[in-house]
Chains A and B, each alone.
Chain A
Amino acid sequence: RKEVEQDPGPFNVPEGATVAFNCTYSNSASQSFFWYRQDCRKEPKLLMSVYSSGNEDGRFTAQLNRASQYISLLIRDSKLSDSATYLCVVNGRGTALIFGKGTTLSVSS
C-alpha cells in the first residue's frame, strides 16, 4: 500500500451537491492528519486538521477511522469556489508530513 493514497478524481458535481473524499494511509502509528486545499498553480493551504473524534468547520466535516486507516472529507452545499485539488496529509515515519497526490473537485453551475 502507498503511504498516502487518494482517488485522483476528477469529481464533477453541481452547485449545492454534497461530496465526500476518502484517503487511506499505511502507517498505523500516524498521529497527525490534515486536509489541504490547492488551487491551480498555487501553494497548498491548510483546510483543516483531522481529530480522532471528527470535526466540522462550516460546510466541511473531517473524520478519522483508525481501524481502517482512512480519513475522509465531506463538503456540503458545494460552491463554485470549492473547485480545487484537496490534499490528504499524514505524518509518516519520523517528523515529516506525507502528502497524497490530491483529489480534484470541479463544481459547476
Chain B
Amino acid sequence: DGGITQSPKYLFRKEGQNVTLSCEQNLNHDAMYWYRQDPGQGLRLIYYSQIVNDFQKGDIAEGYSVSREKKESFPLTVTSAQKNPTAFYLCASSPGDRGRYNSPLHFGNGTRLTVT
C-alpha cells in the first residue's frame, strides 16, 4: 500500500545535539512538507519542497534544515540552533500544486521529539 513513513515514532535527544527525522513516501507525489505541532496549537509549516533539489522555507524555518535529493525522501534536521525543539513533527506530501488549486495533504504518522 502507498503511504508516507516517518521514523522513528518517538525520539529523545540531549540539548545541543542535531537530530534528523526521516520521511519517505511511495505515493509518487511531487510535493513534500514538514509541519510542527505544539500542544493546543495548529500545524506550523517548517519547510516544503515542490520538486527534487528544490525547497522553500515555511513560517518557522529557523533552526531547521532539509534536503530533497530524491523524490521519495525529505529528511528534516533539527539543529542545536532551534530554541524549542520538543514537538510533534509531521511530514506530508501531495501530488503538487498544478494550476491554481492545492491538492490535499497526506500525512505520515508523525515523530514525537523530546529534547532534554
| Distance of B9 from chain A, by nearest CB (Å) | 10
Partner of A32, one of B41, B45, B101, B112: B101
Partner of A43, one of B40, B50, B101, B109: B109
- B interface secondary structure, majority: strand
A11 CB within 8 Å of chain B = no
Contact (Cβ within 8 A) B31 A95? yes
Contact (Cβ within 8 A) B31 A46? no
Contact (Cβ within 8 A) B42 A99? yes
B110 CB within 8 Å of chain A = yes
Which residues of chain A have C-beta atoms less than 8 A from B33's C-beta?
96
Q: List the interface of chain A (C-beta within 8 A of B).
A: 4, 8, 31-32, 34, 41-46, 49, 87, 89, 91, 94-102
Partner of A101, one of B41, B48, B110: B41
Q: Can you spell out 10 A-B residue pairs with CB atoms less than 8 angstroms apart? A: A4-B42, A32-B102, A34-B104, A41-B88, A43-B109, A96-B48, A97-B105, A100-B42, A101-B40, A102-B42
- A interface secondary structure, majority: loop
Contact (Cβ within 8 A) A31 B100? yes
Which residues of chain A have C-beta atoms less than 8 A from B40's C-beta?
8, 101
Q: If A32-B102, A43-B90, A44-B107 touch, does A96 touch B42 (CB 8 Å cutoff)?
A: no
